[in-house]
Structure 1
Amino acid sequence: MDGEDVNPHLGVATARGEASDVTAAWDGDNEQWWDWYMSLADNVEGASEPLVAVDAPDSGPLPGDTEIVAELAEPYVVPSTAVAAFAADGFVRLPGVVSPGAAEVLRRRLIALLDRGGSGSGLRSREMMWREDPLVRAAVLSPRVGGISAALLDVDALRLYHDSALCKEPGAGRTPWHHDAHHFPLASHDVISMWMPLQAVPAAMGPLAFARGMDAWRQVDDLAFDKYGTSYDRRVAETFRAAGVEVCDEPFALGDVSFHSTLCFHTAGANRSTRSRMVLGATYYADGVRIVDHPTMVSGDWQLFVPDTAPGEPAASAHNPLLELAGR
């Protein structure tokens, strides 16, 4: 699609202008946004290879919702080495944040929610589930996750931006290279995202991959974004390779949860396995953060997540509750 000023997922307003012009507000719904964004990933490598068989995990006896809520209310001791790694690298992966049984129950719950509706293009997604399902609410707003996020950001109060179910189906392609500072209309770098896989994620399933270094974004800061095609995704990958930026794409064991800064460049591989890759994601920010003065189309339908709030105002709507922070 490179070189063509078209993209079937763009509306009239967002399709106008140069490829790098994202100043228009998004003029579709969030499902359409995901279809557009996934179309920007380069998916040439490995696309024709057969899928790798992956067995369903044996999670043992499944806990009830009350047990899961109690588990996620307990503090998680974040080692000082993890705090230092997050500050230096822009991301960290922590083991044993969620138990196998809790992961499987949450996986089944997210599948049920996605079956009620969600975006396509091989990546089924849904946001704001915390407002309709008590268990998802307990997980997304859990004191354990809140405490970890606050410790890594070194802040005393956090609000929720939004949750997300991200189900990458077998054969679905890559997620393009990006950093969340380009996405979220939040005027701060005190923003952190959680990526909680609800099964182990072997290499074939497309684990989240990070460009190591909190300042790695500077290597690609002058690259022109391409809202029509895949050139930006390819150029980011090429630039990182040329600059010797390390890409960390190790598999996730069951129970591993990663946290990344809004400045951290990341991508996720294609799911070349026979099993869907389900992830519970959520983004949090320090209390007091404001909406940027000029949100763009890259922020999608951001007013769904921060309603009744104008650009420049504090992001503190009823959809952005404060978290209880275990251990803080």
Structure 2
Amino acid sequence: MSGNVSQTHAARDGLDTAWTGDNNEWWDWYLTLADNGGDDSPLLELDEPPALPEPTADELEALLAEAYPVTPEQVAAFARDGFVKLQGVLPPAAVSRLRRLLTEHLAAGGRDRPAGRFTSDELMWTQSADIAAFVLSRRLGRIVADLLGAADVRVYHDNVLAKEPACGRTPWHFDDHHFPIDSQQVATVWMPLQQTPRQMGPLSFARGVDLHQLVDDVPFSTKDASYDRAVSGAFADAQVSVEDGPFELGEISVHSSLCFHTAGPNRTTAPRMVLATTYFADGAKVVPSPTLVSGEWQQFLPGAQPGEVIDTPMNPIVS
């Protein structure tokens, strides 16, 4: 199997062009590809999570430098299923601090956050040392390295993903379809910054790292929700097991770039805020031909050329 399984279908599926908008415009477009059923039920009333007393600088530094104990069973589950959920990776006080930092970051950038919007920003670690402490932490990087069986991992990019109240579904997809990294040793840490019940749209995973082979011949549409509907139907027909449970405060998930996943609508009155950071094994190359769904990949790998090993100041080793 090639390093990026979507490349062979790029031309067929209308993806072999570059994205010309910004990252939030990309998300605005991408969510139009999800099959939303037009749920008009009342939103679940939820308050913003209360601010908690934050850890001291010394306490936070010690926590983020400490490796999380990934077990052999979790490594095996990740290899088999394509994802794993890990409890207690950060204490509630640290999560509360991170939510405050990301909320302030979006406000400082003048981001409009209307109901129904999927608000996103990226590369925040390059603008804030406080955010970088989390994104570039050994705590998170070592988890990914252990799950991938890699000696070291580099950061690809961070994302704040805020599903505002009444925002719709995220379509079924796998990230190998998105990242212009010629390796399958790529994984994303998805860290909710509040308790995340099903009504808020937690990330959901199709169980099986090779499930992409089941839908490999489904044409990807850049114009409508036909791909999302077809993948959902194929998984239902094959009785694929889906993990769609809630997330507790401090719980994270890590999913492989080959893992198919989706997220439900946010049917609550509070924003669903997440820090999502993607890491890849040191030594990986840029794919020969990045596509439309790679978005603004050049800003994440500045100066790296197709076919070259990724080694830029924007992709430091973090494990």
Tell me which interval the TM-score lies in, with the shorter structure as reference length. over 0.9
Report how many residues are paired: 307
- Alpha-carbon separation, structure 1, partners of 2:63 and 2:296: 33
Residue 3 of structure 1 is matched in structure 2 by: none
Once the two structures are superposed, the pairs formed by residues 1-328 of structure 1 within 5 Å of their partners are: 20-44=13-37, 47-58=39-50, 60-115=52-107, 116-118=109-111, 122-323=117-318, 325=319
- Alpha-carbon separation, structure 2, partners of 1:55 and 1:22: 40
- Alpha-carbon separation, structure 1, partners of 2:50 and 2:158: 26
- Alpha-carbon separation, structure 2, partners of 1:143 and 1:119: 33
- Alpha-carbon separation, structure 1, partners of 2:44 and 2:70: 35
- Alpha-carbon separation, structure 2, partners of 1:184 and 1:213: 20
Fraction of identical pairs, as percent = 50
* Structure 1 residue 205: Cα displacement: 0.5
SS in 1 for 2:33: coil
Residue 3 of structure 2 is matched in structure 1 by: none
- Alpha-carbon separation, structure 2, partners of 1:211 and 1:118: 33
- Alpha-carbon separation, structure 1, partners of 2:185 and 2:24: 27
- Alpha-carbon separation, structure 2, partners of 1:94 and 1:261: 14
Using the size of structure 2 for normalisation, the TM-score is 0.93
Are the structure 2 counterparts of residues 303 and 232 from structure 1 closer, same or farther at C-alpha, using a change threshold of 3 Å? same
Structure 2 unaligned blocks of 5 or more: 1-9
SS in 2 for 1:87: helix
- Alpha-carbon separation, structure 2, partners of 1:56 and 1:22: 39
- Alpha-carbon separation, structure 1, partners of 2:51 and 2:110: 27
Q: What do the CA deviations read for 1:38-59 (whole angstroms, capped 9, x no partner)?
A: 11111115x2011011234446
SS in 2 for 1:166: strand
* Structure 1 residue 119: Cα displacement: 7.8
Using the size of structure 1 for normalisation, the TM-score is 0.90
Structure 1 unaligned blocks of 5 or more: 1-16
